[in-house]
Structure 1
């Protein structure tokens, strides 16, 4: 496709006389959107890879869907969350259908745990499994829904709690799937969803499902996703973390418990006892209990080290290994008795391999850590680098791939893409890069306030100074603020310090589900929302309700985080600067995400604040400032007052 042909096609899709223009009153072509569409068409013509940073307001969904679907390509779009999947399916596609002359079909495919497993549901109904009293009302709800549903998707049960233990025992998770040997295979909701995906032109998935599919391919089992011509990763900045998770080896007390429960249930189903198996199951239950009790009950993540192996944790893991080994041997002669028992045998073998790998602690290409959450203990051996894995499993399979997000670069020029490219193994791939200009008028509609009078973040007076500054800022802005923190400790200190001292409703992460908090924040204009981690992205609150974004400190990852510490050691060992090449670019990307919550439409205006004097007092502060939108900078609170006045 020549440049002239690309230009003509883009004009026909997004220009002033396009079908899109005819369907939208007052339509005006967006230069950034048309450039993005043109870049994608050019990459498609060359079967190439494209990284494209598209700031908020670009209209990137139309910029990639219109050209790819107009060419008649089989497309997979992978998004960061199910919420973005729903937005594409329920909102964006309606506009795409009106704007393109070519008819197309589309479906969303979600992760296994979102679908009811008919085989496990029947086993639950006939197995007399004890259900906590608080969940018993849901048994009847699920019974009626299972008879009526055409999709088996749990999202149809909109009021079902995320933590419902009952669902954990009946969903179609990969560990439990019997595949084509299952007696319910033809009616399987997950199988029917896959069949729909094979027949349509566009499949919308999320990153978790996409990388679960790659992990399945690595293991040599059946594929989840259909073959495709073009792949789009939307919100691509999330890919490195998701890929690391899915190529990790993990052992948890939940996985140990689940396989023990399923074997016990299957033995009751096929009949006939075996003292060796029953004894092995008891051994598994005892080992699982000991493993959980060998680790702290606070929520934390820490490195799993040779020193840990010398203590109670190591002894507990050793007991788990022998218990799994014994269960494997005891179960072996019974595996031919049923498809389910054969599947349980496979799971036990995989678990034994995982326990041995983690207990060995001898792979220099992996990071070993443990994490405690509620009643769970998770031990993980994750890859230090995902690039080599993706080079082996992903890139040889794809023709055209587009990686797009509002935050892919951590510096000016083409060098700004290096950090992201290294994470994904794209440094020598011939990938094209493009950074689109800001869509919104930051110079005239925003202000960046960087106070210099606050203590250094390591100072003991810092927390109280932040609270006092917040009270002043929130008074000036009349609330209407999103305050982002880098730790739960600081979040709690701010909540305690603000309560009763500001006349605005205070919404705090953790007091309700994220969706409920966001709904309340949007509904009550003067409210103030406090959040950490997940609230640095995914908050979309256009209009007056979000007129101030405050960040407490530069979001450097904790050096105590096992993955961060291991990657820093790896870089230093190879003669590289871990701060410049890892800590700094990652913090820049996170800060861009947080401050990017402010402007969501061209009519929005507001103030961005970073309460960290290092941004102006340290040598690396300029790298942050060079990466942020071109907002006027002030160190004077009076300028903030004038802006809001």
Structure 2
């Protein structure tokens, strides 16, 4: 063992520092094995890809060697909520337990920090009818007087979806940099200075890849000084990365530019140009582009293999995108004549040029090796992205030298990274085929704690009545358990259909409360679900969610006793990015279904199933309402990806399992809040 491995082993020992100082710590063989593997990677450098199943305790497993190494460490997580948890709870707790003096910093993207300069003229950009935004803006202004960090996540009562946030935050496009009159008091710059002075910096994947794309977030200075980089929840890296490593143009960006153009023009150069007309032309052109894409009842992706997206009128699209280019050119020309008047106007001129270049790019044929599509919703997003991040990781990360810090250590950890021994679902798209791979199973006793039920009398997923059947079964289970049921859907259409049936069933009589994704922020829905499980009346909740609810949901104890999955989570076949990836595999002579669709479904299924058992005392039922799991050849591969739990034979076994869960709940103390 190296000296770091010895220190890590001592920390995880039954009489070690963690057992003495960390509340509830218990030695786990898998956790120690993971920590030692990470310690070796830190000492030697190189790449380690580690899949550690739910319950292993991967957070402590990577934090302990990181802290004990004495190296400069960068920790990247999937979400800002996980960042906050690491920075505010896990890191301070472990540093104290290990007796390691360490300077820590939290670094988020621009959209998380109050911009004092933007706030100063935000009110001028509002229309007379936007009273609600003016009230919200006043609350932000009062909070701004007291905040030290400017992190909007710390502001009480501010919804993360609030429309006031874009008004009081900066973007790369509108930031004035050193020309800003508030530069010395800038919260973004203060966060970056704190990061440069820290031993451990906590960021998120979006920030990391945004910097890879534009070298703007401050990471360009930070990364070369770091020797250890840890990506937690690494399964999200590829999909996060492709968002930033391509090109995009959104009508929201254009409308923001038009609003800023009008406000800054009237403030700094009134009378020197007709700012109202110029801003109105850009706004009108953006809306014309949206109209040219046609109606959309919900968000949809349109293929884009020609000069115009599939299904869009060629002449209308060409006219709209040309009109946008002209409006931006006129705005840029007017701004060029007054740019020296104020930094705001100079930056607006640059933005007009950048938006014009993107418009011209999307007026031309797509780039080789990229896939292009159109996101159509209330707004419009034009996107051109690589199929994966492999080339970027190989050329921009792994080969990047570390300045005088030796060979860099890269650690990638997650509970779900693949369905084979080499974790190729993750390592291939991320360019990590040569990395060391480690898989550690869960310490939970799934044979005792859980069961799997696949109803054989349910409609096939392609049948119109499938969602109704899922809702009825989920309702029966939730009614028997007093709520405590999470329904995970693979589409928003199924989410709405199942939610409607459950709401009709329980809306007018006593029974579980139905919570539906999208009606409230995710955090609020989860808090209400947990609280209802501890309600003395025992009504409980059934929560129906899609997309983000397949992961990041942690409800241990009796709060959650059943997870219902509506159907096998195969990648959507009509998605242009999925189609392009499948086509690439077919061109290589491989089966896209076997090499891409089945492994992707296996990983998603593992993610969903992982919501059920969160600690050694939990018990629960996993219901997968898709008979293909039993009847199709690929079903064996998907079953093998699930935790090793016994399968119920039919309705009689299901009833017995529900009785067991009810009995356990009635004999257990109230759920933790």
1:65 alignment counterpart: 63
1:240 alignment counterpart: 238
1:119 alignment counterpart: 117
1:382 alignment counterpart: 385
Taking structure 1 as reference, are residues 277 and 158 closer, same or farther at Cα in structure 2, changes over 3 Å only? closer
Taking structure 1 as reference, are residues 66 and 566 closer, same or farther at Cα in structure 2, changes over 3 Å only? same
Which residue of 544, 549, 566 corresponds with 1:530?
544
1:444 alignment counterpart: 448
- Give 1:304-315 correspondences, 5 Å limit: 304-306=304-306, 307=310, 308=312, 310-315=314-319
1:624 alignment counterpart: 638
Taking structure 1 as reference, are residues 120 and 6 closer, same or farther at Cα in structure 2, changes over 3 Å only? closer
Q: 2: distance between equivalents of 1:460 and 1:280?
A: 50
8 A Cα contact 2:416 2:603, kept in partner: yes
8 A Cα contact 2:76 2:232, kept in partner: yes
2:170 alignment counterpart: 172
Taking structure 1 as reference, are residues 639 and 131 closer, same or farther at Cα in structure 2, changes over 3 Å only? same
1:194 alignment counterpart: 192
Q: 1:249 and 2:247 equivalent?
A: yes
8 A Cα contact 1:115 1:190, kept in partner: yes
Which residue of 362, 368, 374 corresponds with 2:366?
362
Q: Shift of the alpha carbon at 1:323?
A: 2.2
1:406 alignment counterpart: 415
SS at match of 1:175: coil
8 A Cα contact 1:13 1:99, kept in partner: no
CA displacement 1:463-517 (0-9 Å, x = unmatched): 3333333344334544321111112222222223333546322222222221111
Q: 1:422 and 2:428 equivalent?
A: yes
CA displacement 1:14-71 (0-9 Å, x = unmatched): 1122111112477431111111110001111111111101111111111111111111
Q: How well do the aligned residues superpose, as a CA RMSD in angstroms?
A: 2.3
CA displacement 1:520-560 (0-9 Å, x = unmatched): 11111232111111111111111112111111100112111
Q: 2: distance between equivalents of 1:409 and 1:127?
A: 48
Which residue of 567, 580, 583 corresponds with 2:581?
567
- Give 1:248-327 correspondences, 5 Å limit: 248-271=246-269, 273-275=271-273, 280-295=278-293, 296-301=295-300, 302-306=302-306, 307=310, 308=312, 310-327=314-331
Q: 1: distance between equivalents of 2:217 and 2:365?
A: 25
Taking structure 1 as reference, are residues 286 and 491 closer, same or farther at Cα in structure 2, changes over 3 Å only? closer
Q: 2: distance between equivalents of 1:337 and 1:124?
A: 20
Q: 2: distance between equivalents of 1:203 and 1:640?
A: 48
- Give 1:410-559 correspondences, 5 Å limit: 410-411=419-420, 413-414=421-422, 417-427=423-433, 430-499=434-503, 501=505, 503-525=511-533, 526-559=540-573
Q: 2: distance between equivalents of 1:420 and 1:163?
A: 31
Taking structure 1 as reference, are residues 521 and 318 closer, same or farther at Cα in structure 2, changes over 3 Å only? same
Taking structure 1 as reference, are residues 498 and 269 closer, same or farther at Cα in structure 2, changes over 3 Å only? closer
8 A Cα contact 1:367 1:384, kept in partner: yes
8 A Cα contact 1:297 1:372, kept in partner: yes
Normalised TM-score (structure 2): 0.89
Taking structure 1 as reference, are residues 92 and 479 closer, same or farther at Cα in structure 2, changes over 3 Å only? same
8 A Cα contact 1:452 1:635, kept in partner: no
Q: 2: distance between equivalents of 1:43 and 1:610?
A: 39
SS at match of 2:443: coil
2:655 alignment counterpart: 641
Q: Shift of the alpha carbon at 1:175?
A: 1.4
8 A Cα contact 2:47 2:436, kept in partner: yes
Q: 2: distance between equivalents of 1:330 and 1:369?
A: 32
Q: Shift of the alpha carbon at 1:93?
A: 1.9
8 A Cα contact 2:265 2:275, kept in partner: no
Which residue of 219, 226, 229 corresponds with 2:227?
229
Q: Shift of the alpha carbon at 1:420?
A: 0.7
Which one is further off, 620-629 or 327-336?
327-336
Q: 1: distance between equivalents of 2:133 and 2:217?
A: 38
Taking structure 1 as reference, are residues 611 and 28 closer, same or farther at Cα in structure 2, changes over 3 Å only? same
1:585 alignment counterpart: 599
Unaligned runs of 5+ in 2: 403-407, 534-539, 660-673
Q: How many residues align structurally?
A: 636
Which one is further off, 155-164 or 534-543?
155-164
SS at match of 1:169: helix
Q: 2: distance between equivalents of 1:356 and 1:207?
A: 29
Which residue of 392, 396, 421 corresponds with 1:393?
396
Q: 2: distance between equivalents of 1:345 and 1:274?
A: 15
Q: 2: distance between equivalents of 1:54 and 1:355?
A: 44
Taking structure 1 as reference, are residues 131 and 410 closer, same or farther at Cα in structure 2, changes over 3 Å only? farther
CA displacement 1:433-469 (0-9 Å, x = unmatched): 1001212111111111122232321234433333333
Unaligned runs of 5+ in 1: none
8 A Cα contact 1:14 1:29, kept in partner: yes
Taking structure 1 as reference, are residues 224 and 251 closer, same or farther at Cα in structure 2, changes over 3 Å only? farther
CA displacement 1:560-600 (0-9 Å, x = unmatched): 11211222222222322211122111111111111110011
1:109 alignment counterpart: 107
8 A Cα contact 2:123 2:134, kept in partner: no
8 A Cα contact 2:515 2:525, kept in partner: yes
SS at match of 1:186: helix
8 A Cα contact 2:292 2:313, kept in partner: no
Q: Shift of the alpha carbon at 1:199?
A: 0.8
1:602 alignment counterpart: 616
Q: 1: distance between equivalents of 2:97 and 2:554?
A: 25
Q: Shift of the alpha carbon at 1:131?
A: 6.6
Q: 2: distance between equivalents of 1:260 and 1:285?
A: 6
SS at match of 2:259: helix
8 A Cα contact 1:450 1:609, kept in partner: yes
- Give 1:17-32 correspondences, 5 Å limit: 17-24=15-22, 27-32=25-30
SS at match of 1:535: helix
Taking structure 1 as reference, are residues 121 and 480 closer, same or farther at Cα in structure 2, changes over 3 Å only? closer
Normalised TM-score (structure 1): 0.93
